[in-house]
Each structure stands twice: as C-alpha cells, then as structure tokens.
Structure 1
Amino acid sequence: MADLFHECGVAAIYHLPGETSSLAPLHGRNAVSRLIPRLLLDIQNRGQLAAGMTSFHPDRNQLIDTHKDVGSVTEVFKLNHPALADELMAEYEGVAAIGHVRYATCGKDDRSYAQPFERHHIEKRKWFAFGFNGQLANYRELRQEILSQGNFHLARETDTETLMHLISQEISNQPEGVNLKLMLENLAKKLDGAWNIVFLNSLGDMVVARDPLGIRPLCYAIEDNLFAAASESVALSNLGFSPESIISLLPGQAVIIQNGKLSVVQFAESKKQAHCFFEWIYFANVCSTLDDRSVYLTRKALGEELASQEQVPIDETTIVVPVPDTAKAAADSMAYALGIPCLEGLIRNRYVGRTFIEGTNRADKAKTKYTPLREVMEGRRVFVVEDTIVRSTTMKTLISQIRNRGGAREVHVRVACPPIYAPCFYGIDMSSVAELFAPKYMNEPRITAEIEARMAADLGADSLRYLPLESVARAVAKPPEALCQACLNGEYPTAAGEKLYQISLEQCSSDRAGAPSRIVELNEPVLSTRL
C-alpha cells in the first residue's frame, strides 16, 4: 500500500421518461436518486474523506437539492441506521441525481469543500450543481483571471470553486438558453489537466463529461429507461447493468440529457490520450474494467513481469508476501510463475485508516496498520511485493516489522511498478519532487542495479527490484503514447503540468542548497495535497 491520497469519484443516475426500469428502486421513477449511495459505495476506494449527492425533482420547491458532509458514504447517508437512511432518501428523492466521494487534493477537510457544489439562482438555467474528479494544473492562472475581472470573489482554495465560476460564466454568456455542448467546448479551451464532470441543473438537464486526454476513467450504461455513470465499471455492474451495456466514455466525449432525451456528443477533439496508468496498478477497484482493460489482469501481468526478472535463488524457505491489498494480484501471479507459495504474512487492521489519509506520522500509523505473522515468516526468505513506493516511510517501517516481529531471515522488496520519479499535477497526492523517494537517487528515469542496491540498503532490505518503464504499457495492454506516465518519466501531457514540474525542480534544488524558496505563491495549493 503506497502512502498516497486516492482519487475522487463521481456518479450519476437518470430515469428517462417511460416505464420504470427493472433496475430502479421499488419506489418508482421519482426515487431513482436512492441508488446514488449504492453507486458511491462501490467507488468508496477513491475517496473516504467526504461524500454527497444532488437530486432533481420537478415537483418540489427545491428543484435540485444537495446533501453532503465529511465522512464515509455509510456515515454521510446514515446507512447503518435504516430508518434514518430511508428518511434521508425520501427527502432527496428525485428522477435524477449526481454523487461524489472525495479526498482532499485541494482545500480543507470540512463540509464546505465536500461535493457536489451547488450554485443557487432564481433563474432555472443558472441554478446547477456539479461534481468534479481530477485536478486543474492551471488552477492558479484560472483563479487569478477570474479575480482580475472586477467584483469577483473566490472563498475557497480549491479548483472546484474556480470551475464552478467558469461554468457559471459560460451559462451566463448564453442568454437564449443553455447549449450544454457549447459550454463544454468553451471549457475545454480553458482547462489544463484532468477533469471529469457530472452536472445537474434545475431544468433537469444532466451532463457527464470526460476531458479530452481521458486522464481519469469514466463509464456509463443504459438499460431500459435507466442511465447511470460512474468513475469505475464495478459500480454499474453491481447495480445490475450487464457487462455488454457498460461503455467507457471516450476522451472529449459527454453524455447530455436534455428535455428527456439522451445524446452522446464529442465536445472536444482528442488529439492524444493520456490515461493515468496508476488507475490500473493502484487506484481502481480490482473488479473494474477501465477503457476496455481489466484492472485484475493488469496487476496479474505486472506480477508475471516481476517473476521474469527474478535473480535471487529460490529454495524451500522462500515465500511471497503481498502488502495488502492492492498488491495481492501481482504477488499471487509472481509466486505462481516462480512456483513458490504466496502467503498472507502481513495482516491489515481493517479498523485503522489508510496511511495516505493522514499527512503526518505515517510510520507510526503503519506500525498499527499491519500485523506481521511470525508463524508465516520466521526463518524464511521473504519476497515482499508492493504496488509502488512513493515516500518510502511505510516501506521502511514494514521491513523493520517483518524482520523484528516477523522473524524473516531475508527481506527482498519487489515493486510492481517503475520508480516514482516525478510529481503528479493531475490529482494524486505527490506534488513535489522533494517528497519522493526515488529522485534522491536517480538523475534520470532509468534505474540501475547499483541504484537499487543503495535504495535497498537505506530501506533496510536485502534487495530491491523495480519493474522497467516498458512493463507498464505491456501490462495495461495499451501503447505508451496513450498513457500518462509523467510520474515515471517526467514527460507531462499538458503545458501547465510541464510548467509545474519545472517549478518543483527549482524549489527542490533551492531547498537542497539551503536557499529560501521563491515560489511559495505558485506552490499553494497546486503543489500541496489535493483532490
């Protein structure tokens, strides 16, 4: 388990005019919003800090209404208290709804930063709510542009509020009505980065849109009269949609529902694709299929890649131990290929939060998060398989625990990913060079055996092996040019991302030289924790 913030996740549902769908709740067409918590539960892996939903009902005073709070989906929607949950769902019943789960990639951990964001207005077309999954690399420039226009004010340090104002301006610039495709076309010209949007207004119009690079995954399904969308396919599958009906929204595409009619439109040209490879190897639910590639099969392939480069002697005492949970598929396939057991030598405490949720004391949290089983590892040569190493704090603690409490004779770390060489500015909490483990040892993206040996010594391991850069594209089964691998090779798919990388390099160089940083303003909040 890498000590990372996860992604955010978005969901949407709409019961189109007609007979009640077999997948809809028993309460009827106007209660389809009750399905949002179910969708969000299946993408809870993408955000556990806050959750929320906005529903549309044409026959109530609050045409669209939003419920959101800090906490898990279960907490926010009171799912452990059936009577309270039913009362809440009755209050927010509607024919359509959007939902969101959040980690803080930008902004504070309080209710006002939870999504969806809702903008009230007396004019129906200007009253809307939206949820956002991604990160705008040019957030600072966009924010400054808005504030420079005169009597404008932004109350929050988050690109979501900036995006809300940009959407508002686009709608205001259309006095004759709302052309949602035109709104997206104009937004696409301004936004740099990753941005998936679910949008719902008080006219009952809905938009589900994916940015032209397709950095973050987004899929949808239609059966009978029911439309649903989510960040991951597992949410739609568990709702009852057949595998054949679940479709990945293409980069630059949007589903627009207006006047009860659904259309899929291309609002921006997708000149290139930059799917985040991390989605397959770490973020996504192992049950999901992203852009026609199974997450499980990707992780299985990564484990086979690890096995193919193994050089440590194998004997009857050798075992593979995965770091729970995302590394398990890779560990299983590595062990199978090598013909040795894969055993659960590390047991995760399910009641301790993920270490990447907290920004401090990760080492102390890791000690309580995993329990090493001495009866599994004592006297053994142990291959510890991890999905990635970002800051190394968790891995150092684990190696120490495996030796001291687990009694392992040897500890060999195997990482089912190349080294994290550069920061991410598209929605992952690793936004500066200085905080990363690998760049302290590497002057270029390619790693050598000598560098791995130095890293292993500093971690306290007997050996360390990463996968080569080429392995990612092979495992994902997509050409390298269709993937965003900026954190592996420093090659960013957008201009603003490249600019922020250069700033981060300058800051790291300045910090190491002991000079005061001169880029603090640019570093807030784009170069701080976010999403």
Structure 2
Amino acid sequence: MPVEDDASLHEVGPYEDGLQDDGPRHECGIAALYHLPGATSPLCPPQGPGEVSRLLPRMLLDIQNRGQLSTGMTTWAPGRDLLLETYKELGGVSEAFRLSHRGKAEALMARYAGRAAIGHVRYATCGKDDINFAQPFEHRHLQKRKWFAFGFNGQLANYGALREEILSKDEHHVALKSDTEILMHELARQRSSEHLPPGAPQPSLIDVMRGVGKRLDGAYSIALLNAEGEMLVARDPLGMKPVAWGLQDNLFAAASESVALLNLGFEQENIHALGAGEAITIADGPDGHKELKIEQYAPSPRLAHCFFEWVYFANVASSLDDRSVYLARKALGEELASIETLPIDADTVVVPVPDTSKAAADAMAYKLGVPSVEGLMRNRYSGRTFIEGGDARWAKVTSKYTPLREVLEGKKVILVEDSIVRSTTMRALIGRLRDVGRVREIHVRVACPPIVAPCFYGIDMSTVGELFAPPFVSEGQDPESAYAAMAAELGADSLRYLPVESIARAIQKPASDLCRACVTGDYPTAEGQRLYQIALDQVTSGAGETRTYEGAGV
C-alpha cells in the first residue's frame, strides 16, 4: 500500500465512498486467477480458459469493501505481443470496468483477455487523485522472467530504511513516496542474478520470496504474475493480512477474502486459508506444463492475525483463517451483553451504526431481550464526497446517516459501534440522534477495546494525537472513570468498550495469535515497536505530530 505523505492525516481523505470518518482506513485487496492445463473448468467463462480474466472484476466487486479509490488488473496471454497487459483506473470496480455499459465492458474484457490475471482494489489515506499509485504495478524488462506485475495489500514498517538504502546507491531514484514502489524494486532485485555467485541457477519465484521475506518488516499479501506466465501468491510470515485460495476443476483462484471465491462458484470445502509465510507458485513443472505448489518461503515464529479484519474490515460473508467474520461479530455483541449493567426498561432499544456493527448489535439485543432496530438509515447512493475541514466532515456525516424519529423518539438508545478511532462520526451521530431522532438517552457501546496506539501495518492511523482514546486512558486508571469522561466529551449518557480479552474469545483464536497493537501498544515486529516509540516521543516532546514515517529519522 502507498505511504503517501503529501497531505495531513488531520484532513479528510478525499476518496471516501461515504464511509465513517471514525472508521479505520487504508486497506487494500488482492485477487488472482489461473486456468491450469487440462479440461475446461465449469466455472470458466463461455469464452474459454484463454479468457478466464473475465471473472476477475466479479471477484474484485466482492472485496470492494477493502478499497474504492482505484482498481486494476494485469493479464497474461501467451499469444499477445504484450504478454502482460495492465489496466487500472481511479474509482470503484463498476466505474473502472464500465460494468453498467455492456459494450464498453465487453470491449475491455476482450482487449485484456488472458489465461491468468491478478487484480487489486485500493483505499488510500490521503493524497491526490493520482493514477500512478493505482495497482497492479508493472515492471517491464527485456527478459520475460524479469517482466512482472504485482498487487500488494499491507504496509512495510521498515519502508523508510529500505527506501534510504535504495537512494544511497549510485544514480538510484524513487519516483513515488510509496512502499509499493519499494517492494517492486526489491522483487526485481531478488529476481535478478546480480547478487548471486557466478554460475548460480536463475532464482525461481519461491527463491525471490525467500529473499524478499528476509528483508521486510510489516504486513503484506502479494499477488504476482510475470511474462512467462508464472504466478505467485504470498502471505507475510506473521499472517497479518488474510489470503484465501482454492483449486477447483483446474481453476485456481486466490483473494484477500474467501467470499470472492465462494461467489465465483467454488465449493466451501475447496476454499482454504494460505498459511503464514507460505507462497503458492504456478510455474513450469518437469513435463513443461504449469503446476501449482505451496511452499514455506519464510519461517513463521508466531502468528499475528490483524483482529480488525474480523471486527471491521472484512466482508461479513467471509471466513478468515477458519473463523467466520459474521460469527466473530455476533460473539462480540454477546460479549457486550455480558458486561452490560444499564437498567433495561420498556423504551430501551439497540441501534447499530450501519453497516459493520449490525451483527454485534443484533446479538447484543437478543441476549439482553430488547429490540434491535434500524434507527439510523445509511444513504448508499450519495456518491463520493470531495470535502475537507471540520464543518465539512460534520456535513458529510449528516448526508450519510438519517435518524428515524418515528423509531427513536423518547427511547433509551444503546448505540452499538464497531470501533471509535477519531470520534468525528460518533460526535455527529449523537448530535443527530438528539436533534432529529429526539431520543431520551444515548448509551454508546463499542464492540472493540479503546484504540490507544497507531497502526504501522496498513491502517490509516499512524499518529497518537489523531486518536480519541489516548488522552482519557492511562495505565492503572480505573476504566469506568475514563469511560465517563469520554462519554461526556462525546455528548453521550454513557460509554463502554469491550475489554481486550474479549477479542480473542470472540474470534476464537489465542491472544498470542492476534495482532492487537492498536489496543495494547504491544507490536509484533521490531520496527513497529520502534515507530510506536517515535510516535509517543512526538507527543511528549510537544513538538507536534507528523506522520510517523516522516518523523522516524529515515
């Protein structure tokens, strides 16, 4: 993912698709397709295996929740002059692939038809509308094995060090402030034979990932395709970023989320989670035909799955590492109900903040024996907004959510939200519920612990100062007094978060297998911990905050 730093994080990112300002951003999604030799898969499009790329926009639509800023794909067709050809545009999948116009969509699919394809959806934190940041990135070369394209989900915590190393070498230049570009150069360097002993064999794709894996600190999933028709799909050694893959009837598919394969027609039992530090390669086998292999390219000393995938990011229809997103969110709601102390009366209702909070809200309401009502309606057709500034943020929220007075008036509302990052949306919603909904009381319940630390692994919250919770929460402090102060600041009657230990119970993973850095300050990588200390030093020094990459001395 890009590490763009040409605008303040305290401005509204201009590429939002009507989502909550409170919600964490800066996620991406990858997808890959390959029709292997053999009988034509029934899942193949009518045009045949040579045009399996036609299925890719459908997959990207299913992971559109992970990014709406830009989308693109690269296809491989062995009979084409451009063995690899990349198409990418700003905007969502339907917009970029002209899906509402049959003739234009067909022309695109025919032009970029291929037996193999990779795709990407992107969501950035800030910066300008720049197609140069859209993925896949393509690296052309005279030698086919060195001509490749790739898509990347995640963020390199040691981006700065890698960038400085590149720039320190004679006449080297980096065009974009993007860790995706740094990763592209690293992949190219590992694919070349310049750093190998004389006479050593040319590095394979798995060799490339072995070399790359030793150099990266951070979270990443990668889908790569080269001009020889070789494909690689890899997941970071800590398993932070999810990858689902499947093989059915000679059709291979992989994506950031399982729902993309399920809706393609894959049977549930044929969909698997790629292991941490594992890579899938499709390359020529001994018989000269392409074959699929799964290999460990890097050791996995521990797991650190991003818990926010289950809480917020992932499509509720997906399963990540064998745990249903819906069931995890349902369990979070049950956890909220188990710690609820609010007196319940006949006018009490539970209201989810659309849409990712609904499963938790419904489960909480069921456990408490009170109605769960859709008292907030979200306008799904308001389109992208290009506005900045505090007043504009407020205006944007009011255009996205409409309280239903007929449902809410005079009610004691338990407002369930999946997370509070910056608090902009929550403040606006509470005001709207009182002014428009005419509620009697508002009690905010958050299906997540307080976010007290930045993320350096791909989520848009890289400074301490932009976060709502840190000024109220300190070590050893009584949570109840902190929550009371936070509720007063927001304008709510009460506020309660889930304790940290609830996350592991709801996701049904050991706490040691989850990355919970943003709610504990304990980072799973050395570079992440170093950047956190820099972020803390920026606050305590009173020197003002910049994005941590800028203040990291790199």
TM-score normalised per structure 2? 0.91
Please tell me whether the aligned partners of residues 355 and 362 of structure 1 are also in contact (alpha carbons under 8 angstroms): no
**C-alpha distance in structure 2 between counterparts of 1:516 and 1:418, whole Å:** 26
Amino acid at match of 2:461: M
What corresponds to 1:428 in structure 2? 459
What corresponds to 2:51 in structure 1? 31
What corresponds to 1:246 in structure 2? 271
Within a 5 Å distance, the mapping from 1:399-414 to structure 2 comes to 399-414=430-445
Please tell me whether the aligned partners of residues 147 and 227 of structure 2 are also in contact (alpha carbons under 8 angstroms): yes
**C-alpha distance in structure 2 between counterparts of 1:151 and 1:10, whole Å:** 33
Please tell me whether the aligned partners of residues 14 and 95 of structure 1 are also in contact (alpha carbons under 8 angstroms): yes
**Aligned length, in residue pairs:** 522
Amino acid at match of 1:317: D
What corresponds to 1:265 in structure 2? 295
Please tell me whether the aligned partners of residues 74 and 85 of structure 2 are also in contact (alpha carbons under 8 angstroms): yes
Question: What SS does the aligned partner of 1:207 have?
Answer: strand
Question: What SS does the aligned partner of 2:534 have?
Answer: helix
What corresponds to 1:524 in structure 2? 550
Question: What SS does the aligned partner of 2:276 have?
Answer: coil
Distance 1:525 1:365, change over 3 A: farther
Distance 1:467 1:505, change over 3 A: same
Distance 1:107 1:218, change over 3 A: farther
| Structure 1 spans left out of the alignment, 5+ residues | none
Please tell me whether the aligned partners of residues 3 and 356 of structure 1 are also in contact (alpha carbons under 8 angstroms): no
Amino acid at match of 1:254: A
Deviation at 1:152, TM superposition (A): 1.0
Deviation at 1:455, TM superposition (A): 0.4
Question: What SS does the aligned partner of 1:195 have?
Answer: strand
Equivalent of residue 504 in structure 1, options 512, 526, 535: 535
Deviation at 1:109, TM superposition (A): 3.3
What corresponds to 1:341 in structure 2? 371
**C-alpha distance in structure 1 between counterparts of 2:326 and 2:510, whole Å:** 19
Q: Does 1:117 align with 2:137?
A: yes
What corresponds to 1:151 in structure 2? 171
Q: Does 1:185 align with 2:210?
A: yes
**C-alpha distance in structure 2 between counterparts of 1:522 and 1:462, whole Å:** 35
Question: What SS does the aligned partner of 1:434 have?
Answer: coil
What is the CA deviation profile of residues 103-156 of structure 1, one whole-angstrom value per residue up to 9, with x for unaligned ones? 114864311100000011111111100000000000000000011111211100
Within a 5 Å distance, the mapping from 1:159-238 to structure 2 comes to 159-173=179-193, 176-238=201-263
Amino acid at match of 1:258: A
What is the CA deviation profile of residues 137-195 of structure 1, one whole-angstrom value per residue up to 9, with x for unaligned ones? 00000000011111211100000000000011111126743411111111111100001
Distance 1:508 1:237, change over 3 A: same
Q: Does 1:398 align with 2:424?
A: no
Aligned Cα root-mean-square deviation (Å)? 1.9
**C-alpha distance in structure 2 between counterparts of 1:162 and 1:330, whole Å:** 39
Q: Does 1:315 align with 2:353?
A: no
Deviation at 1:257, TM superposition (A): 0.2
**C-alpha distance in structure 2 between counterparts of 1:102 and 1:465, whole Å:** 33
Amino acid at match of 1:477: Q
What is the CA deviation profile of residues 279-318 of structure 1, one whole-angstrom value per residue up to 9, with x for unaligned ones? 0010000000000000000000010111111111111100
What corresponds to 2:41 in structure 1? 21
Please tell me whether the aligned partners of residues 68 and 92 of structure 2 are also in contact (alpha carbons under 8 angstroms): yes
**C-alpha distance in structure 1 between counterparts of 2:218 and 2:402, whole Å:** 39
Equivalent of residue 275 in structure 1, options 285, 305, 313: 305
Please tell me whether the aligned partners of residues 333 and 361 of structure 2 are also in contact (alpha carbons under 8 angstroms): yes
Distance 1:328 1:447, change over 3 A: farther
Please tell me whether the aligned partners of residues 23 and 226 of structure 1 are also in contact (alpha carbons under 8 angstroms): yes
Question: What SS does the aligned partner of 1:433 have?
Answer: coil
Question: What SS does the aligned partner of 1:435 have?
Answer: coil
Equivalent of residue 464 in structure 1, options 472, 495, 510: 495
Deviation at 1:444, TM superposition (A): 2.8
What corresponds to 1:481 in structure 2? 512
Deviation at 1:4, TM superposition (A): 2.3
What corresponds to 2:103 in structure 1? 83
Q: Does 1:363 align with 2:389?
A: no
**C-alpha distance in structure 1 between counterparts of 2:306 and 2:345, whole Å:** 38
Deviation at 1:504, TM superposition (A): 0.7
**C-alpha distance in structure 1 between counterparts of 2:169 and 2:402, whole Å:** 56
**C-alpha distance in structure 1 between counterparts of 2:551 and 2:77, whole Å:** 36
Q: Does 1:53 align with 2:73?
A: yes
What corresponds to 2:61 in structure 1? 41
Amino acid at match of 1:315: D
Please tell me whether the aligned partners of residues 534 and 552 of structure 2 are also in contact (alpha carbons under 8 angstroms): no
